[in-house]
Each structure stands twice: as structure tokens, then as C-alpha cells.
Amino acid sequence: MSSDIPVAQLILDEEQKKSVKLIHKSNELEDHTFDSRSDADGVAAATLLAGLGLDDEAREDITNRWKKRWGSDYGQKGMAQAIHRDLYQCVCGYAHREAGTRKRHSPLDFTGCLAHVEVTYGCDSRKVLRVRGFFVHNAACEEATLTRLPTNPVHPAVFKATLEQLRQGATWTDIQESNRRMIKACTYPGVMRTPL
Ligand SMILES: [Zn+2]
């Protein structure tokens, strides 16, 4: 899977196009691959997608911040190796004028957000094999989504810690336990303490 993310499918204005090009050129992208035979990887993939707001539940939600821009199958249908790739763009980054629409049919204002995520999964297994892209939303987007949308269920710092523990062979119960401990002790970097 050495192909590039098809950024030409994103609907961006000229300035965003330049920024996205730069992001890809300087490799500021995140890239996570998952082994479809591993349960731990399955949990890690699901956690990552939930954190990004790209799990099934979040995508079906009316407040979904992502819009699917592109999707394609690879490999022979019915073959075990056949994969599907989907590309999502943050709705705050959707440059509606570029799409030729004067009126903005989006629940959120344009903020120039550059976030985009490509999800690859097995056609047969439906298991997530790879999640990559630029996961960072710009400040105006974060603000817009904070006021208009419910907050993300999983903070990126929590995801990172979870992934690390899974790699070290921790069980799901261990992870929940240490998650509770870290939240109580307020040791997640960048996570504000919220009163319970
Ligand atoms: Zn965004």
C-alpha cells in the first residue's frame, strides 16, 4: 500500500491546496497500520476511529464533522486481499465555492481546516487495515465543533496511551483501569481536568 492519499479529491481553495501539498511533502501525516488477524489491533483501530469521530456511530450522527469525498475498491472482488479505501474531509475545510455552490449546505462554517483521513479496510473482513492522513483540525474548526458538536469521545492523548498499552500486551480491563487512574491523577498530557 504505497499509493498516495488522493488529495485531489478534497474540495479545497487555493490556499488550502498549497498547505495540503506542503503537509504531504514534509510528511506531517499520521499513518497507522493494523493487522486484521490481531484482536488488539482491532481494538486499537476502533479506538483511533472513535477518537477521530470516524466510527460508524459518529458518522451516522447528524453532527458528523466528516464528509466522504472518495472511495475505491482495489484487487479482485471476492479475493481475500481485496481492499477498499475511503477518503474523508472535515466539513469545516470544505471550500463550497470551489465546488461551484454559492450557498453553503454544511452545518459548520468554512474555517480552512485541512484535516483529512483515509481509511482502508478489507472488502471481505470489513476489518480496518490502515488509517492515515492529517488528523489536526485548525483552531477555528475546533472552536466551531466544540460549540456545535459534542466533544470527541476519546482524547488523542488517551488514544496514544491505549495504543502503547495494547502493544505491550495489556488487556482491555488493564487499559480501562489505568485510564481511570490517569484521568483521576490528571496525568494525560494536554487533557484538562473536568469535574465529575
Ligand atoms: Zn476540521
Tens digit of pLDDT for each residue in 37-89? Answer: 999 999 999 999 999 999 887 777 767 889 999 999 988 776 778 999 999 99
Count of the separate structural domains present in the chain? 2
Q: Contact at 8 Å (CB) between 117 and 65?
A: no
Within a domain: 183: yes
pLDDT at 176: 74
110 CA from centroid of ligand 1 (Å): 9
Structural domain span for residue 174: 155-190
109 with 166, same domain: the answer is no
pLDDT at 15: 96
Q: How far is the CA of 50 from the centre of ligand 1 (A)?
A: 15
H/E run at residue 9: none
Which residues make Cβ contacts (< 8 Å) with residue 36, sequence separation at least 6? 42, 122, 125, 127, 129
Model pLDDT for residues 113-130, shown as the tens digit of each residue: 999 999 999 988 889 999
**167 plus 148 within the same structural domain:** no
- Ligand 1 center to residue 156 CA distance, Å? 15
* Same domain, yes or no: 103 and 170: no
Does some domain include residue 195?
Answer: no
Tell how far the Cα of 173 is from the centroid of ligand 1, in angstroms.
Answer: 32
CA of 58 to the centre of ligand 1 (A): 15
Q: Are residues 136 and 165 in the same domain?
A: no
Distance 188 CA to ligand 1 centre (A): 23
Query: How far does the chain reach from its first CA to its final CA, in angstroms?
Result: 44
Let me know whether 136 and 171 are in one domain: no
Does some domain include residue 104? yes
Q: What is the pLDDT of residues 126-137, one digit of tens each?
A: 899 999 999 999
Q: What is the pLDDT of residue 101?
A: 74
C-alpha cell of residue 34: 493494523
Tell me the CA distances in angstroms from 116 to 5, 89, 155, 164, 176, one per residue in order. 9, 4, 18, 24, 29
Percent of the chain with pLDDT over 90: 49
Considering the domain boundaries, does residue 196 fall inside one?
no
Q: In terms of domains, do 147 and 161 share one?
A: no
**Local confidence band at 196 (pLDDT 50, 70, 90 cut-offs):** very low
For residue 1, tell me if it sits in a domain.
Answer: no
Helix (H) or strand (E) holding 74: strand 66-74
Calculate how far, in angstroms, residue 3's C-alpha sits from the geometric centre of ligand 1.
24
Specify whether 125 is located in the same domain as 99. yes
Instruction: Say yes or no to pLDDT of 19 above 50.
Output: yes
